[in-house]
Structure formats: structure tokens, C-alpha cells
Structure 1
Amino acid sequence: MSVFLQRLIDGVGNGMLYGSVALALVLIYRATGLVNFAQGEMAMFCTFVTWKLADPGSGLGLPIVAGIAGGVVFGFFFGAALERVVVRPFESADHLRQMIVTLGLFLALNSLAAYIFTADTQRLASPFPDGTLRIGGVAISIREIGMIVVLLLMAALLRELFNRTRLGLAMRGAAMNPESSRLLGVDVSRMLMVGWGLSAAIGALAGALVAPAIFVSPAMMQTLLLYGFAAAVVGGFDSAPGALVGGVLVGVVQALASGYVSFIGTQLQLTTAFVLILAVLIVRPQGLFGRVSVERV
């Protein structure tokens, strides 16, 4: 029983990491209506900035919390600038061309990070203290507990932003119906820019939280991005709480399947996410917490 509970806890911890990436994907989708394939590389680039701010050897040597705060602030302006310079010229294009632009941005940011910073693996300190809590035969690290608390708080703040603030409602309106939003006085272009900035800021926070476990490198977010997409699809691309729930489901299924199904092991872990996506799309295509879109003909 203790082995099962340990795998379950490990799955929840990994799932929260997946959910953090899914949160950024959901935010930019709700703000702009676009699926951003460069989300992981934007988070990676901002994490390198955090590393430069906090690393005592080759950076400024700031406290890790101050470095993460600096990376998040940089992420907001970085995302807003990318929207202005790279995405804005394709604002009137169809979604296929916009997604191709994000794929190109994925490649550009990956190579740019290696050129500006380094292609080698670097270590980033955790903002949470070391240590492990033991409850019965189950071990839970303090880092995982802190990460879960931060991500739950972030999801709650995002829900409040989109449901109870004028800015959030304006961002949702700009994504769902730009023409009507303009008629109501909403600056649609500015809302799209803010959406990209917030998404990059959340990605910067997610990258800083995951970096102590997987280290900082140009490839650090690529696998996590795949799991993040799986979590967003399972939870629903228009639901911030659903992103976290989807991430936990993906993480738990992955941990239990790799632990109890012998032929899966560590080599076929991504396949479990794919199977979960297929199951959710067949039963509930909009995701577990997604809303059904209704269009008038």
C-alpha cells in the first residue's frame, strides 16, 4: 500500500509541473484564441534569465526569490514584445499560419538561448528549503509541497482575473469576438499583447519551479511542453483549474502505468499521455472542464 501511495504522490508532484505549463497554454489561448507551440521555449528563455540573475558564479548572484521575480517581470515584457514584433504582423491571418509562426518562434528561441547563454546544462537553486516530510511510509519533499501551493494560488488568481476583473473580461472578449469588442471600446491589440505577456510571465515562473529538478538547458522544456499540451487537452483549453487537474491526471496515470504495467516502464511514458488524450477526446472533446462552443448558423 505504501508503494502505491508513494507512486500516487510522485504522480501528483509531476502532474503539477505539467499543469504549470498547461496553465500558460490555457492563458494565451483564452486571451488570444491561439495555441502557442513556442510556449515551452519562451519559458526556457526566461528561466535562463532567472539563472543569470541568481547564479553566483556567472550571474548577478541575487537571492533566488529575487531572481525568479526578475525572470517573471522580464517574461511579461518579453512576451509582450514577441507579440508586437513577431505575431502582430499575422494578426489577420488564419490560425494555421499563426501556429506555423509559433513553430518558427520555437526554433528561433531554442537556438538563440544557446547562442546568448550556453548550450550546457546549468543548475538553478530552488526557492524552497531542502527536506522531506514522511507520513507513514510515504515521503513528500518540501519542494513539491511549495510548488503545489504556488501553482494552486496562481490558478486561483487566473480564475479571478478572467471571471471578475475588467481586464480579464476584456481579454476574453477580444479573443472570442474581436469585432464586437472593438465596437464596445476594447483595445483588442493591447489585450492580445497583455495576454502574451501574462503567458510568458507564468511560463517564467513554471520554468523556475521545474528547473531545480531538471536543470537549465535549451532543451529543458520540450518534454514538459508535450505533457503540458496533454494536460491542457484533458482539462480543457479554456479552463485554468482544468489545466492543473489535467496535469495531475496525466502525472498520476503516467506514474501508475509505468510502475504497474511492465512493458511501459520509462520508455513508453509519453504513450500513456497520448492514450489519455484519445480517451478524453472520444468521451468529452472539449476536455473535462472545457465549455461546449455553440455557434449560430
Structure 2
Amino acid sequence: MQLLMQQMVDGIAWGSLYGALALTLVLVYRASGIINFAQAEFAMVGAFVAWQFHDWGAPILLAIGAAMVLSFFGGAAAELIFVRPLGRNASHFTLIIITLGLMLVFNNGAGWVWDFSTRSFPEIWSGPVLNIGPAVLSRQAFAIIAAAGIIAVILYVIFQRTRVGLAMRAAVGNPESATLSGIGVANLTTITWGMAAVIGTLVASLAAPQLFLQPNMLFTTLIYAFAAMILGGLNSPPGALVAGIIVGVVENLAGTYIPGIGNDFKQAIALVIIIGVLVVRPQGLFGKKEVARV
């Protein structure tokens, strides 16, 4: 029972990380209609910037905050420079190739600036572990769970209670009608890319103490985030967070209790989830079927 509880708690902690990263993918998909394969690299670069500020003497929380601010402008600039000129009618293949190119540029750029060696990243909350029944949870893992919950609340308030959020929802639901109503759809898309970069930087900075800071640190995490995105639904931010926790728990339990999987083969669980959802319920657990005229 203790082992089961520990795997559940660890799964929730890592699942919160997957869900938060999946949320950034969903935000960009809702705004632009594309899957941004460079999203993890945006987050990784943001974590490196936070580490650099801290290395220069800034407190870690201030360093992460400054990196998040810069990430907003970096994500917005990426959309302005590389995506907006193509317009909303650009082919999905073209946009995917652009995001893959950005992924390679950011990955190799980080390696060129900071090299590919691993670095330690300070925890934002260190100290004795927290006892949750028979299981234990590190304070940094608790910070990841808390951050995912805070992100969800903030986004809910933005989308439900602010004029900008309501305009974003209108722009996503019907871009043509939103444009005719005077809503700047293109500018809102740029803002969404910036928001996704901000969340990604926070996620990467919280994960870096466990994953160690290096240009490829989020590659495996991105696979799990894709699984959460597919499972939750491409258009459902709450679904991404919930599905991330499901993926984290299932991954941990499968690695512990299914013979032959173990820690070295757990990534296959994410691929199985992606394939299974696409076959059985393509719209995901929380997504809705889209009706299109032909």
C-alpha cells in the first residue's frame, strides 16, 4: 500500500508538470490551429535565462520572474516573425516545418550559448519532505503541483472575467466573426503565444532541479505533454491539466507494476495513450467533435 501511494503521489507531481506543458500546447493550438513543436525549447531557453540571472546574483524567484517577462516577448516575437506572415490559410505542413525549425534553432542556440553540459538549478522551496499518509512529497514537487493549480485559476479568471480573455475566446471560436466585430484576432494570437512562453518558462524552471538544466532536458517531458494534450482534447485547457495528471499516474503505475516496462520503457506508455485515444476517441476526453461543411 505504501508503494502504491508513493507512486500515485509521484505521478500527480510529474503529471502536473506534463499537464502544465500540455496547456501551453493547447493555448497555441487554439490560437493558431497548429501544434508548436518548439514549445518545449521555448521553455528550456526561459529556464536557462532564469539560471543566468541567478548566476549573476539575482534571487531565484526574481530570476524566474524576469525570465518569464522576457519569455513573453520572445514567444510573441516568434509568432510575429515566423507565423503571422504566412497568414491563417497557410498549410499545416508548412507551419509544422517552421515550428520544427524553431525547435532546432532554439535547441542548438542554447547549446551554443550555454553548451550542452548539465547544470544544477536551485529549488524554489527546499527543506524536509512533506508527509502525505504513508507517502512523501518533496517541497519542490509540491511547488510544481501548486503552480499548475495557480496557472489554472489565473487562466480561468482571464478567459472568463476579463475583456481580453473574452475576446480571445471569441477569436478562437469564430475568427471571421470576431474580426468583423472589431476584435484584433492577429494581436490576440500573438498575446497567446507570449502567454504560452511565460507558462513554459515557469514549468521548465520548476522542473530543472529534478531534470538538471541542459538543452535536451524537456524532450521526454514533451512526449508526455503531447499525450496529455491528445488525451484531454486539443481545444480543452482544463482537459490538458487533468489528462496530464492521468498520464503521470498511469506512467508511474505501469512502470512499477507491469513486468518488462520499468523506468527505461515508460515513454512507451505515452505513445500507447496517443495511439489509443486517436483510434477510440480522437477528440479526447474533454474535447468536442468539430463539424465541418464539405
TM superposition score category, shorter chain reference: over 0.9
Structure 2 CA distance for aligned equivalents of residues 266 and 232 of structure 1: 22
Change beyond 3 A, Cα 1:98–1:175: farther
- 1:153 matched to 2:153? The reply is no
Structure 1 CA distance for aligned equivalents of residues 127 and 79 of structure 2: 38
User: Where does 1:176-255 land on structure 2 (aligned, <5 Å)?
Assistant: 176-255=173-252
Structure 1 CA distance for aligned equivalents of residues 114 and 165 of structure 2: 35
Q: Note the C-alpha offset of 1:94.
A: 1.7
Q: Note the C-alpha offset of 1:199.
A: 0.7
Structure 2 CA distance for aligned equivalents of residues 176 and 105 of structure 1: 27
Structure-1 residue corresponding to 2:63: 67
Secondary structure of the 1:128 match is coil
Secondary structure of the 2:49 match is helix
Q: 1:115 aligns with which of 112, 117, 120?
A: 112
Q: Structure 1 counterpart of 2:7, which letter?
A: R
Question: For the aligned residues, what is the CA RMSD?
Answer: 1.5
- 1:106 matched to 2:99? The reply is no
Q: Structure 2 counterpart of 1:227, which letter?
A: Y
Structure 1 CA distance for aligned equivalents of residues 152 and 12 of structure 2: 16
Change beyond 3 A, Cα 1:172–1:97: farther
Q: Structure 1 counterpart of 2:24, which letter?
A: A
TM-score by length of 2: 0.95
Q: Note the C-alpha offset of 1:105.
A: 0.6
Structure-1 residue corresponding to 2:41: 41
Secondary structure of the 1:287 match is coil
Contact between 2:28 and 2:193, CA under 8 Å: does it hold in 1? yes
Q: Note the C-alpha offset of 1:296.
A: 4.4
Q: Structure 2 counterpart of 1:15, which letter?
A: G
- 1:88 matched to 2:84? The reply is yes
Q: Structure 1 counterpart of 2:279, which letter?
A: I
- What are the superposed Cα offsets for residues 117-141 of structure 1, whole Å, 9 maximum, x if unpaired? 2221111111112220224431111
Question: Percent identity at matched positions?
Answer: 44
Contact between 1:20 and 1:206, CA under 8 Å: does it hold in 2? yes
Q: Note the C-alpha offset of 1:170.
A: 2.0
Structure-2 residue corresponding to 1:50: 50
Higher mean C-alpha deviation, range 226-235 or range 282-291: 282-291
Structure 2 CA distance for aligned equivalents of residues 125 and 73 of structure 1: 20
Contact between 1:32 and 1:171, CA under 8 Å: does it hold in 2? no
User: How many residues are treated as equivalent by the alignment?
Assistant: 293
- What are the superposed Cα offsets for residues 73-100 of structure 1, whole Å, 9 maximum, x if unpaired? 0110000111111222222412221111
Unaligned runs of 5+ in 1: none
Unaligned runs of 5+ in 2: none
TM-score by length of 1: 0.94
Higher mean C-alpha deviation, range 218-227 or range 154-163: 154-163
Q: Note the C-alpha offset of 1:25.
A: 0.7
